[in-house]
């Protein structure tokens, strides 16, 4: 006599502890890939966005093209973006990273530029009066004062990247998106829900981490108790 299914996997339930215990290594590998793709993409995006924002701040004629091009890139649907990048990168993790970098530029460039523009001109003049050259002025005065606005953009870009990584499942490099995609094809409820929840957890954790880093980097923005 065959015993009826008495576990949540057999019943295909949405919430299933047995899924976590039996497929923990699969979840871990997916989380690691998700974090790697997100971190690399945002880091490269930041390295590109800073000089673009500085150039747009220094030469006003460059602001329009820089903001215009990055905005256009952000409006391209993700599936179309990956299709355009496919001939260059092929079916690899690089195509996902490249796409996320391009998407992050709009958020990063705009916020960094806004932060640089918000630096008071009096502060710049005082620094020049103290002998600060253009490079030292940028590194020691302008960029530090632009950190709050830049970090706001970085937080949004990071959370967006966590979400967009899942689209990489169409080329086999989507982190937790791979599990969501395969789970939807097989109607594996526990896998879809677990992977989706983990995406949210990663996004929230990343946002809180960056918020903590922002507070450490900008102690002058903390409210002074009366």
How far apart are the C-alpha atoms of 104 and 183, rounded to whole Å?
Answer: 28
Q: Give the rounded distance of the alpha carbon of 126 from its chain centre.
A: 36
Which pLDDT band holds residue 4 (cuts at 50, 70, 90)?
very low
Least confident of 29-38, 83-92, 154-163: 83-92
In the prediction, which pLDDT does 86 show? 84
Q: What is the mean pLDDT of residues 58-72?
A: 86
Q: Which of 14-23, 146-155, 204-213 has the highest mean pLDDT?
A: 204-213
Q: Is the pLDDT of residue 108 over 50?
A: yes
Closest CA to 175 of 78, 34, 40, 26: 34
């Amino acid at each position: 006599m065959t015993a009826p299914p008495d576990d949540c996997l057999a019943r295909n339930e949405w919430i299933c502890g047995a899924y976590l215990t039996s497929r923990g290594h699969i979840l871990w590998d997916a989380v690691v890939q998700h974090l790697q793709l997100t971190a690399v993409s945002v880091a490269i995006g930041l390295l590109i966005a800073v000089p673009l924002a500085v150039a747009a701040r220094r030469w006003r004629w460059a602001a329009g093209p820089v903001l215009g091009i990055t905005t256009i890139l952000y409006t391209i649907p993700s599936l179309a973006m990956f299709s355009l990048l496919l001939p260059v990168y092929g079916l690899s993790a690089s195509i996902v990273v490249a796409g996320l970098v391009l998407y992050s530029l709009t958020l990063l460039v705009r916020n960094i530029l806004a932060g640089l523009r918000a630096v008071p001109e009096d502060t710049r003049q005082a620094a020049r009066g103290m002998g600060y050259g253009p490079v030292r002025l940028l590194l020691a005065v302008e960029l530090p004062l632009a950190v709050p606005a830049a970090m706001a953009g970085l937080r949004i870009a990071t959370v967006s990247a966590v979400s967009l990584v899942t689209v990489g499942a169409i080329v086999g490099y989507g982190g937790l998106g791979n599990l969501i995609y395969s789970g939807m094809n097989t109607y594996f409820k526990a896998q879809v829900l677990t992977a989706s929840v983990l995406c949210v957890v990663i996004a929230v954790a990343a946002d809180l981490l960056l918020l903590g880093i922002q507070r450490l980097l900008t102690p002058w923005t903390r409210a002074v108790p009366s």
